[in-house]
Structure 1
């Protein structure tokens, strides 16, 4: 085997590791919202099996703790992943 082969293999492995690392960094950390500021208290299970607060309006008008996106219908999403966020609420208006 040549040095060129080893360098190419190392480059491919490094690119794969970086791509995996970047994909994993899109998950949001969990922060429990203040339930007294929200107009609903329902939850759902995401594709990781985690319980997540359903999108809700905040009574104060401010972004609640743990919100990751503002939906186009004015609700705040607590989604842990970008995929599917606000899908039943008109899509994402803005990410936090």
Structure 2
């Protein structure tokens, strides 16, 4: 029975909700949860154009979603207006 089930495993289709392949973002960018390329956190004396949050390590994030913003950078210290 087990052997028969294993033999049929190749017939299983990829689920319709499967994640799309990763996109290639430019250097200094990352792919966000919406599969868009966004500038990675950067250091600056003042908030750079387009920054949405200041991270705990002093970098500024350009994240378009709150979830995961400043992860690996000490969390969000403050959100920018």
- Output the TM-score relative to the length of structure 1: 0.55
Segments of 5+ residues of structure 2 without an aligned counterpart are 1-26
- Residue 68 of structure 1 corresponds to 52
Matched, 1:95 2:79: yes
Indicate which of 50, 55, 77 corresponds to 2:41: 55
* 1:6-43 CA-partner distances (Å, limit 9, x unpaired): xxxxxxxxxxxxxxxxxxxxxxxxxxxxxxxxxxx600
Q: Flag as ranges the 4+ runs of structure 1 deviating above 3 A.
A: none
Taking structure 2 as the reference length, the TM-score comes to 0.64
1:78 equivalent in alignment to 2:41: no
RMSD of aligned alpha carbons: 0.9
Shift of 1:47: 1.1
Considering fraction of residues, name the structure with more helix: 1
Structure 1: state its 5+ residue gaps.
1-40
